[in-house]
């Protein structure tokens, strides 16, 4: 390319960290670039829960539109925010090496309370499954805004992605790692999206693609897609590629956490993608169909 690669990003601190990470990697390969911050619907509407704003793309639609209009060349996202079906004409061109995948409880000074804050139905369902006597309150905003709410309300704490806290180098927090909680598909992964017809960009971005992370995220997102889940369905998944071996864990939960179907599978790198439909079928036959029906009926009521 003759001109710098225009990198589209949301303007939150975490999104800018991710975009600057991509920028730095590209510069190592002598690919000049410039950042173009864009506001998203998810950033502008902090009062409405994510799952009431439409099940996909509230953090990505603005950048998708800028890509399709040719205002930016690539868009950088937290991959867990990206719909499993991209807008027509767009495709994933790189996935960066993954950060931490775990969720953590950030405790507030009022640690005697039994109220837990999260805007995620997946986190809510899994927390209530372990702690049925607790109550959940909503939590929206960027990382610092959510932390401020946790510190200034009479809650036990709030649930956050560990990767975001680490990337922003937020210190002096009392945290509990929730290693039992299935993360969101592709949690901890940063993705780069471009127009499908930009072969020049695909070649450039292939240089920074991390193949193991890309496969892990592909498996998790395919599990999500085939279960017909989106931001409004409590679905968790985590894949770990180690050489030729792949370990996969996935789960589907009722909104109140009283019902759950989880699986744990071991397969090979070459068979993993074709195994996903088998795993989804097992979940559906083991009670997943009933949970999905309840979720759909709940949305319709």
Q: Just list the catalytic residues.
A: 81
Minimal CA–CA distance to 142: which of 81, 217, 100?
81
- The SS3 assignment for 71 reads coil
- Give the containing element (helix H, strand E) for 36: strand 33-37
């Amino acid at each position: 390319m003759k001109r710098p690669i225009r990198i589209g990003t949301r303007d939150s601190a975490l999104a800018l960290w991710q975009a600057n990470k991509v920028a730095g990697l590209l510069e190592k390969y002598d690919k000049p670039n410039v950042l173009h911050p864009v506001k998203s619907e998810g950033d502008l509407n902090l009062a409405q829960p994510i799952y009431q704003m439409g099940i996909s793309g509230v953090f990505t639609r603005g950048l998708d539109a800028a890509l399709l209009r040719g205002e930016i060349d690539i868009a950088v996202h937290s991959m867990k925010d990206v719909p499993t079906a991209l807008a027509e004409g767009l495709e994933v061109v790189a996935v960066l090496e993954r950060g931490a995948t775990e969720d953590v409880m950030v405790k507030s000074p009022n640690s005697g309370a039994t109220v837990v804050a999260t805007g995620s139905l997946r986190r809510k369902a899994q927390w209530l499954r372990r702690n049925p006597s607790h109550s959940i309150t909503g939590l929206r905003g960027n990382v610092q805004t959510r932390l401020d709410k946790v510190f200034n309300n009479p809650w036990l704490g709030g649930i956050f992605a560990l990767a975001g806290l680490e990337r922003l180098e937020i210190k002096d927090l009392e945290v509990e790692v929730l290693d039992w909680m299935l993360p969101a598909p592709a949690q901890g992964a940063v993705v780069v999206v471009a127009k499908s017809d930009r072969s020049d960009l695909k070649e450039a971005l292939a240089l920074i693609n991390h193949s193991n992370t890309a496969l892990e995220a592909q498996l998790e997102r395919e599990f999500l897609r085939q279960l017909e889940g989106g931001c409004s369905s409590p679905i968790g998944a985590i894949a770990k590629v180690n050489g030729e071996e792949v370990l996969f864990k996935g789960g589907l939960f009722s909104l109140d956490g009283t019902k759950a179907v989880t699986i744990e599978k071991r397969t090979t790198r070459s068979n993993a993608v074709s195994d996903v439909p088998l795993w989804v079928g097992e979940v559906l036959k083991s009670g997943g169909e009933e949970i999905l029906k309840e979720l759909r009926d709940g949305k319709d009521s």
